[in-house]
Amino acid sequence: MRRNNSILDLELIAAKIRRNALEISRQRGGYAAQGVALADIAATLYFDELRPDGDGWFHDRFVMSNGHDAIMTYCALAESGHYSMEELKTYNEDGTTIDQSPIEGQLGFEITAGSLGQGPSQSAGLAWALRQQGSDARVYCLFSDGELQEGNTWEGVMFAGHQKLSNLCYIVDNNDMQASGHPTDVLTVEPVPEKFEAFGFKAHRISGTDVAELLDTFEEARNTTDRPYVMVCDTRLWDGIDCLQQALPMAHYTAKGAVDWDAGMAEINAVIQALEERRRG
């Protein structure tokens, strides 16, 4: 690990990110289920893996391809103090700058997201350019398993493998859910790791909700110096809040009235309290 946060610290940060996702979604709905499920990835990425630049931001670069998962970044950057919760509570509101799918230049976002499959190609180009400039900055790109159905995703993968972009780490949110159903039913993308390996990547399939495993995998990615790296993170919507994961059918978008927000908030607050007690004790 690069910083002084322990696994327990990061688990607590992840729990607070989950709470933030519920808090900013409860008024108008949105992609809360994804924000909840990706909280451990967000905590390890923003609070351990990305190196700070000394000016309050990051030396390494993060590209979010699947714009609907912007809630992950918003909620993580609220914990780092880059956004206030008052700002984020306008999520999905008419006229807000806290868009469900962000635009390039918005704090925390390298590209305009929404047209899925763009991130892998753009992050590969960014990693190549940084290498050409002699920069040691690393590039991380999050995208979804549904995006593996896009042809331009594989153009980026092919380029990255050919160029041996060891400064590039892909993070696949492998949650078996897209807008039209399960990828296994719509257009299967498995076996994911083996496909990336065929293009010259080092691939590792892990749980996307295990902080210790995420930390170990990020370290392995950093230590891979001869090829790009992909971490295939198995998640499920609402991972980390059992009462919502068990009570609700999986759906890409969460309507305002579809969730017992109070029950979810009560559970995650109890988790946070227990983690804080462990830290003190």
Q: Which residue has the tokens 């749980």?
A: 207
Residues of the domain holding 79: 7-280
Answer yes or no: is 188 within a domain. yes
pLDDT of residue 3: 67
Write out pLDDT tens, residues 168-206.
999 999 998 888 888 889 999 999 999 999 999 999 999
Write out pLDDT tens, residues 33-47.
999 999 999 999 999
Q: Is the pLDDT reported for residue 106 higher than 70?
A: yes
Write out pLDDT tens, residues 148-160.
999 999 999 999 9
Answer yes or no: is 46 within a domain. yes
Report CA-CA distances (Å) from 243 to 84, 86, 133, 178, 223. Answer: 27, 27, 49, 22, 38
Amino acid making up residue 194: E
> CATH code at 44?
3.40.50.970
Answer yes or no: is 2 within a domain. no
CB atoms within 10 A of CB 34: 27
Answer yes or no: is 261 within a domain. yes
Q: Is the pLDDT reported for residue 2 higher than 70?
A: no
Answer yes or no: is 1 within a domain. no
**32 token code pair:** 């809360």
Q: Whole-structure pTM over 0.85, yes or no?
A: yes
Q: Is the pLDDT reported for residue 267 higher than 70?
A: yes
Query: In total, how many domains does the chain have?
Result: 1
